[in-house]
Structure 1
Amino acid sequence: MSSTSDELQTRTRIAGMQATVEQYTAALNSARARLAVLTGMQAERYSPVPARLAIEQDAVNRIDYASIPAVMAAQNMEKAAQYGIETAKSQHWPTLSLKAGRTRYESDNRSYWDDQIQLNVDAPLYQGGAVSARVRQAEGARAMAASQVDQARFDVLQKASVAQADWTGALGRREAGKRQLESALRARDVYKNEYTLSKRSINDLLSVEQDVWQAISAKIMAEYDGWSAAINYASAVDNLMPLVGIETNAAAKLPDLS
């Protein structure tokens, strides 16, 4: 291979990598701009990802469904439906009411108290099955509410399980990227030695350098995918804000100025 062709290929590859660097720089600036809009501030430094976001192996088996808003809302609907059943069933029974009164009478001849107690019984004799129909309707509403509770729990479990699987896969790819990087670095050292002995061309050095870059890129992408999965998991179980240090329900602790 002639030195002229080596130089041309080298310049071509350098130009290609410079274009790639510009693309990544533009993407980074765009991400920082979006973050500034979301947070309302332009940060000069960024904190590392909190280690507490890491997903434990058996995390999906310890999900606290009772603290997740979507599940809580569905459970409240189920309780309301149960109350509707009890209200409808109560219409089968008579309604009792007790009234008491005391009146004082004064006259020239005598004075006395008139005490009265009145018991009222309101009993439906026949309603043509209307009460039973209302009970069945309320029971149907409760069954639907119960299914919504199950669906809410299933949605949380599904999102959390997918996020945990993505996290595990990303960890495996990160370890593979580390091994790939170690191999590429060893190959680069060998190629440099062989280049000094005129056994390798500059194009060979550029090729192995590209292998190093690809290994580093794969490792970074695996780490990104892993933390993205961790964020998705924390969001699914409604635990993201406490993990990143954002206090929830802070407004409830503020003094009442009204």
Structure 2
Amino acid sequence: AMQATLEQYRAQHRSATAQLTVLTGVVPATLPELPQALLKQQITLDKIAYESSAAVRSAQSKQEAARERVRQAESGHWPTIKVQAGRTRYENDRQSYWDDEVQLQVEAPLYQGGLVNAKTQSAEGDREAAQAAIQQAKLAINQNASTAYADMIGAQQRQAAGEVQLASADHTRNVYADEYRLSKRSLNDLLSVEQDVFQADSSRITALYDGWDATVRYAAAVDNLLDIMGIDRQQSSGDLLPSLQ
């Protein structure tokens, strides 16, 4: 069972390394520690900068485009005015002169079978859908950030409890070792307390990993991860990736 668990962890490690290689184009021999800036990021669930989110900005751009389509469709109700000017030269045996001409053309949609209204309603529907997409993007950000924050707090509490449990189990192991030397404890007691130490340490490490995972997910949810990892957002700067050496 222990060997199967170990192989499962190794498979997860290989899968994560492969994903990292796909994302960065680098096959790392070793991985650096995660930046401490992740732990120092400000948690502001009530003041999330939605405008910095790519998903929100994309939805807002679609909304602006939909508004322009609404205005364009509504313009079909208004008449079109066109001014044309011309000048013609006439010459004959008796006289020559210029004929100046100005024409004002007015085109008004008298009846189009509801075409303009249909276009306007369609464009208005697109605008409302874009507005809903903005709210949906903000809601998704808020939900992901809130979930990550709750997981982060829970992991920190479990890590603290695991450290207390590990200290207690380690103290018990030392006491049992002394009592074993005095023939007051059996070898089975030593093995049992050693298992308690291992389980406490394993729980602490798992909670530590869960805390880091939740911290990364929170940074990704509020769109802080690129800045914290030192990845340049600007295309003109070269799309720099952090060093994996």
2:76 to 88, 91, 108: 91
| Secondary structure of 1:62's aligned partner | coil
Unaligned runs of 5+ in 2: 239-245
2:104 to 119, 122, 138: 119
Q: How does 1:226-237 map to 2 (within 5 A)?
A: 226-237=211-222
Residue of structure 2 in register with 1:202 after alignment? 187
Letter matched to residue 60 of structure 1: L
C-alpha spacing 1:76/1:186, structure 2 compared with 1 (3 Å):
same
Output the aligned Cα RMSD: 2.6
Comparing 56-65 with 210-219, which one deviates more in the overlay? Answer: 56-65
Is the contact between residue 82 and residue 138 of structure 1 (CA under 8 Å) also seen in structure 2?
yes
* TM-score normalised over the length of structure 1: 0.80
Q: How does 1:153-172 map to 2 (within 5 A)?
A: 153-172=138-157
Determine the C-alpha separation between the residues in 2 that align with 1:186 and 1:237.
42
* TM-score normalised over the length of structure 2: 0.84
Identity %: 46
C-alpha spacing 1:24/1:220, structure 2 compared with 1 (3 Å):
farther
Residue of structure 2 in register with 1:244 after alignment? 229
Residue of structure 2 in register with 1:26 after alignment? 10
Using the TM superposition, give the Cα deviation of residue 189 of structure 1 relative to its aligned residue in structure 2, in angstroms: 1.5
1:150 to 114, 119, 135: 135
Using the TM superposition, give the Cα deviation of residue 42 of structure 1 relative to its aligned residue in structure 2, in angstroms: 4.1
Determine the C-alpha separation between the residues in 1 that align with 2:17 and 2:120.
57
C-alpha spacing 1:21/1:135, structure 2 compared with 1 (3 Å):
closer
Using the TM superposition, give the Cα deviation of residue 229 of structure 1 relative to its aligned residue in structure 2, in angstroms: 1.1
Establish whether residue 222 from structure 1 lines up as the match of residue 222 from structure 2. Answer: no
- Tell me how many residue pairs correspond in the alignment: 237
Residue of structure 2 in register with 1:75 after alignment? 60
| Secondary structure of 2:84's aligned partner | strand
C-alpha spacing 1:41/1:135, structure 2 compared with 1 (3 Å):
closer
